[in-house]
Amino acid sequence: MTNCSFDTVDNLMRSLELVIYIPIFVFGLLLNILALVVFYVVLKKRTETTIYMTNLALMDLLLLFSLPFKMHATNHKWAPNKKELCSFLESLYFISMYGSIYTIMFISIDRYVAIRHPIKARSMRSPKTAIIVCVLIWLFVLGATSPVYRLHDITENEFHCFHGFSKDGWNPVLIACLEVFGFLVPALVLVSCSIQIILRLRQSQEISPKRQDCIRIIYSNLLAFLLPFTPSHLAIFLQFLVHQGIITACSQKTEISLFLQIALSLSNVTCCLDALCYYFMTREIRSSKDILSRSISFRRNTSISEG
């Protein structure tokens, strides 16, 4: 990589990242704060779904918190004495990214259990179980992102935070774990659960509005996962091949570097795409409330007429 110049890519990304990050930060912040207000002020209902969605919103807000620092790091080099702060911010970024991935995966698993195994779901699903799962997700991503603190090997007076990782950052074992457990396994679980759920819901001759909302939640989950994270993990794998000396052509290295930086920048759009899940989930819960209230009203009217 020493014979290739990436100045053109770096100059382009200085402007492009700001164009991408600023709208994501503004809209993502508004949508996720609004989601928390709706969950805890409007709905006032603690279900498995609202707990998972709350966890997803918190992960998104954590990622949004790191974006201003990421924007600053794009255009400024940091002094060596800020290495620990940089590593901390990078860890928050990866915690939120992979925390979101696993939260989306468990939302899909929760839906699968509720729809495909409704009898077992009575004992397996509960708000307490959802809280325990969310805590385990936080503990898992906290432990899994600990290698981030070894990503920078600073030998100069200045360095780029969120950029220029050391050789340890491209260790084959680390990248394999990242690709397999950070993307492939959650993607496989998400896609397989989603297919099973949609097939079951579409078996009914008449699809109720509630089932339609459930299908929309599944599709929005797939969109919020596959659209941001598939290109970014493909780009990471290609960059790994560059660092391993498998890809050596200078033009290809430059293209992969540009693809990597654009894909990682666009992966942050998940903070906005998750709002689709919040919207359809809110509709579903409101629909359930309406159905329940109508059912109670019908039973009361029936008992009065019989009396």
For 150, which DSSP code? Answer: G
pTM of the full predicted structure? 0.85
User: In the predicted model, what is the mean pLDDT of residues 164-178?
Assistant: 82
Q: In the prediction, which pLDDT does 3 show?
A: 66
Residues 6+ apart with CB under 8 A from 147: 168, 169, 174
Residues 6+ apart with CB under 8 A from 203: none
Instruction: Copy the structure tokens of residue 191.
Output: 């896609």
In Å, what is the CA distance from 261 to each residue of 3, 8, 29? Answer: 20, 13, 22
Residues 278 and 30 sit within 8 Å (Cβ to Cβ): no
Round to whole Å and give the CA distance between 112 and 294.
Answer: 27
Beta bridge partners of 78: 159
* pLDDT per position as a tens digit, 256-271: 989 999 999 999 999 8
pLDDT at 144 > cutoff 80: yes
Chain mean pLDDT for the chain: 83
User: In the predicted model, what is the mean pLDDT of residues 42-60?
Assistant: 87
Residues 6+ apart with CB under 8 A from 290: none
Q: In the prediction, which pLDDT does 54 show?
A: 92
Round to whole Å and give the CA distance between 82 and 75.
Answer: 16
For the purposes of burial, counting CB atoms within 10 Å of the CB of 148, is it exposed (0-12), middle (13-18) or buried (19 or more)? buried
Q: Which of 86, 56, 57, 81 lies closest to 70 in space, CA to CA?
A: 86
**All domains in the chain, ordered by first residue:** 7-287 (1.20.1070.10)
